[in-house]
Amino acid sequence: MDKTIKTNPTVITIFGGTGDLTWRKLIPALYNLYLDKWLHKQFLIICLGRQDMTQADFLKKLKEGVDKFSRRGKSKKTEWDVFAKTIEYKKADFATTTVYTQLKKQVAAFEKTADCAVNKIFYLAVPPQFFESIAVKIGEAGLATDRKYARLVIEKPFGTNLESAKAFNKLLQGFFDECQLYRIDHYLGKETVQNILAFRFANALFEPIWNRNYIDHVQITVSEKIGVEGRGNYYELNGALRDMIQNHLLQLLCLIAMEPPVSFNADEVRNRKVDVLHALRKIKKEEVHNYAVRGQYDEGWVEGKKVIGYREENDVAPDSPRETFAAVKFFIDNWRWSNVPFYVRSGKRMSESISVITIQFKPVPHQSFPDEATDNWQPNRMVLNLQPDMGIRIRFQAKRPGLQMQLSPVDMLFNYSDTYTSGTPEAYETLLLDVIEGDATLFMRADQVEAAWDIVMPVLNNWEANPSVNFPNYASGSNGPETAEALIAKDGNNWIVMPFEKKDND
Ligand code: NAP
């Protein structure tokens, strides 16, 4: 099938064309969409940036980015040369009105050459403090009046708290319909994250046990070995709770906890996710310490190399109160999940770079086997590994070969890379194609963003008002602060990590 017939002619304007996101993610993703024939032959990418650069120098830089970051590796000259013809670089001061009036003329000229409706996509790939002013100027210039085909893509972070997120939503609603807004949480574009929906709702096997009767608790860990990597300025304003928990981890929690959608219509899926956010128990401000803990990395060792602590990083205050690790225990107050803890944690400079969801099942109701047969007994566990290896592992009990009845846990493993040999698209490929096709399922709706902020606000307010007195409190290369172990240990549980390459069947 010719895929190109699926998409309309498109003009995409990237505000922040000289930025890191454009270089590392957006252009490699668009290039791969082009190679996979998802882009209409009438496709124009206008990159706006502050720098004085010739078109040739700009394309040279983009090509280096593609060669370095594309999942396909180095580009082929003939293919790149054709793709590069769709890209235009323009120096622009985003604060001036002329940028938008000229853009309007260029978009109108492009539309004239097309024989059907044209997608007009505006991508805000700039630091968040410029989101509002650029969005307003796009609106004021009349670039968003085509309610069906003009779309605005907004990068994260969306606001810094509930109040600012609400204000930004209100501002956007003055110029755009909600269906024109694509608020990115790039986690939702990952193959494995989308697979959670397939796993849960395309199989009859799991849904009957997917509730408080069988599940003891759920753990979600997104940890990174890297530190703030030159983004000290950004991190000082945000921290792990804002940067990871409020968006990515709460979205993963929603996918695990949501009710089955009636269809995969964008609003139906998002309604079911918002239901979860609304059912999350609001943590009382005086009880924050029982539900949430924070950490900040000290110096330490990562992959055999000595690394500095957070407070020694560039652009970080020597007495910074900012958390680089956060763990929160959530409860979802509805019939399915009543009293099932959902533990989520995320941190930088941890021992492993891993994103993993663990579903810990309850023990069997009655133990029929003698004690000596079950020395190694463990309740069932399901691990959804999102990165770096993508796969699903189910742990259950089996009889060890031998004359005696000896039980031990074994794993049943589904590994993406063993099963599928075709290339896996990057999250930004999926998300950009969705924007081009006008499918908002994987994007955050206004009420979703606000509900997610609402749930973390008590923790955020408490932490802002009471800076930690014991930062830094975990060594780089460790598993985070001891308080995070205590948070889960007091319920009789422990954090579980089962990377696929390790066989821990005992
Ligand atoms: P960046 O490299 O710092 O800058 C992006 C663009 O903004 C550049 O074109 C830069 O122009 C322009 N810019 C910077 N300061 C400006 C100013 N004062 N006035 C006008 N333009 C300015 O940022 P980025 O890493 O690409 O990130 C862009 C957005 O994506 C941010 O909202 C970020 O949170 C989000 N994001 C980024 C990543 C990533 O991997 N980088 C991942 C997830 C989300 P010049 O270069 O020409 O100065």
Instruction: List, as one string, the DSSP characters of 362-428.
Output: PPPSS--S-GGGGTT----EEEEEEESS-EEEEEEEEEPSSSS--EEEEEEEEEHHHH--SPPPPHH
Whether pLDDT at 1 is above 50: no
Span 2-15, pLDDT tens digits: 454 578 999 999 99
Instruction: Give every CB contact of residue 373 below 8 A, 6+ residues apart in sequence.
Output: 404, 405, 406, 407
Whether pLDDT at 85 is above 70: yes
Q: Ligand 1 pocket: which of 14, 20, 53, 236 to mutate (most atoms <8 Å of CB)?
A: 20
Residue 480, CA distances (Å) to 114, 234, 302, 456 in order: 55, 21, 13, 20
Tell me, in angstroms, the distance from the centre of ligand 1 to residue 396's CA. 47
What is the model's pLDDT at position 225? 96
Assigned token pair, 191: 């193959």
Q: Ligand 1 pocket: which of 18, 124, 126 to mutate (most atoms <8 Å of CB)?
A: 126
Tell me how far apart the 2 most distant CA atoms of the chain are, in Å: 84
Whether pLDDT at 134 is above 60: yes
Tell me, in angstroms, the distance from the centre of ligand 1 to residue 127's CA. 5
10, amino acid identity: T
Whether pLDDT at 413 is above 80: yes
Q: Ligand 1 pocket: which of 21, 62, 89 to mutate (most atoms <8 Å of CB)?
A: 21
Whether pLDDT at 255 is above 70: yes
Asked whether the beta carbons of 345 and 223 are under 8 A apart, the reply is yes
Tell me, in angstroms, the distance from the centre of ligand 1 to residue 234's CA. 11
Torsion angle, alpha carbons of 29, 32, 38, 41, to 10: 100
CA 320 to chain centre: 26
Atom of ligand 1 nearest to the CA of 48: 9
Instruction: Give every CB contact of residue 142 below 8 A, 6+ residues apart in sequence.
Output: 104
Separation between Cα atoms, residue 164 and residue 168, nearest integer Å: 6
Separation between Cα atoms, residue 187 and residue 191, nearest integer Å: 9
Residue 69, CA distances (Å) to 63, 73, 212, 229, 389 in order: 10, 7, 43, 17, 18
Query: Averaged over 94-98, what is the pLDDT?
Result: 96
60, amino acid identity: K
On average, the pLDDT of the chain sits at: 93
- The verdict on whether 248 is a catalytic residue reads yes
Ligand 1 atom 30: residue of nearest CA:
125
Query: Averaged over 268-279, what is the pLDDT?
Result: 97
Span 301-310, pLDDT tens digits: 999 999 999 9
Span 214-237, pLDDT tens digits: 999 999 999 999 999 888 999 999
H/E stretch holding 91 reads strand 87-91
Query: Averaged over 429-455, what is the pLDDT?
Result: 96
Assigned token pair, 451: 């509900």
What is the model's pLDDT at position 497? 75
Atom of ligand 1 nearest to the CA of 18: 9
What are 385's strand-pairing partners?
356, 391
Residue 277, CA distances (Å) to 27, 159, 160, 455 in order: 33, 18, 18, 8
CATH number for the domain formed by residue range(s) 190-420+447-489: 3.30.360.10
Ligand 1 atom 42: residue of nearest CA:
21
Could you name the CATH architecture of 3-155?
Answer: 3-Layer(aba) Sandwich (3.40)
Whether pLDDT at 261 is above 90: yes
Separation between Cα atoms, residue 153 and residue 135, nearest integer Å: 10
Query: Averaged over 90-119, what is the pLDDT?
Result: 95
Nearest to 59 by CA among 38, 85, 36: 85
Asked whether the beta carbons of 181 and 446 are under 8 A apart, the reply is yes
Q: What is the bridge-based pairing of β-strands 87-91 and 43-49?
A: parallel
Whether pLDDT at 117 is above 50: yes
Separation between Cα atoms, residue 488 and residue 207, nearest integer Å: 26
Would you list the domain boundaries of the chain? 3-155, 190-420+447-489
Tell me, in angstroms, the distance from the centre of ligand 1 to residue 235's CA. 14
What is the model's pLDDT at position 482? 97
Atom of ligand 1 nearest to the CA of 17: 9
Span 201-218, pLDDT tens digits: 999 999 999 999 999 999
Percent over 90 (pLDDT), the chain = 86
Atom of ligand 1 nearest to the CA of 94: 20
| DSSP-derived secondary structure for 433-455 | HHHHHT--TTSB-HHHHHHHHHH
Tell me, in angstroms, the distance from the centre of ligand 1 to residue 184's CA. 15
Separation between Cα atoms, residue 37 and residue 213, nearest integer Å: 47
Whether pLDDT at 390 is above 90: no
Q: Which residue has the tokens 């993610």?
A: 25
Atom of ligand 1 nearest to the CA of 186: 43
What is the model's pLDDT at position 421? 79
What is the model's pLDDT at position 504? 44
Ligand 1 atom 25: residue of nearest CA:
20
Domains 3-155 and 190-420+447-489 share a fold: no
Span 341-381, pLDDT tens digits: 999 999 999 999 999 999 999 999 988 888 888 777 789 99
Ligand 1 atom 1: residue of nearest CA:
19
Asked whether the beta carbons of 275 and 259 are under 8 A apart, the reply is yes
Most confident among 376-385, 416-425, 482-491 (mean pLDDT): 482-491
290, amino acid identity: N
Whether pLDDT at 143 is above 70: yes
Assigned token pair, 479: 């598993």
Torsion sign (Cα): 75, 430, 84, 69: negative
Phi and psi angles of residue 276, each rounded to the nearest 5 degrees, phi first = -65, -45
Tell me, in angstroms, the distance from the centre of ligand 1 to residue 19's CA. 5
Q: Provide residues with CB under 6 Å of ligand 1.
A: 16-21, 24-25, 49-51, 94, 125-128, 130, 155-156
Q: Which residue has the tokens 């069997």?
A: 364
What is the model's pLDDT at position 356? 95
pTM score, whole prediction: 0.94
Residue 480 Ramachandran class (φ > 0 left, ψ -120 to 50 alpha, else beta): left
Tell me, in angstroms, the distance from the centre of ligand 1 to residue 148's CA. 28
Asked whether the beta carbons of 39 and 438 are under 8 A apart, the reply is no
Give the active site residue among 40, 217, 248, 366. Answer: 248
Lowest average pLDDT, out of 100-114, 148-162, 418-432, goes to 418-432
Instruction: Give every CB contact of residue 471 below 8 A, 6+ residues apart in sequence.
Output: 295, 296, 311, 320, 321, 323
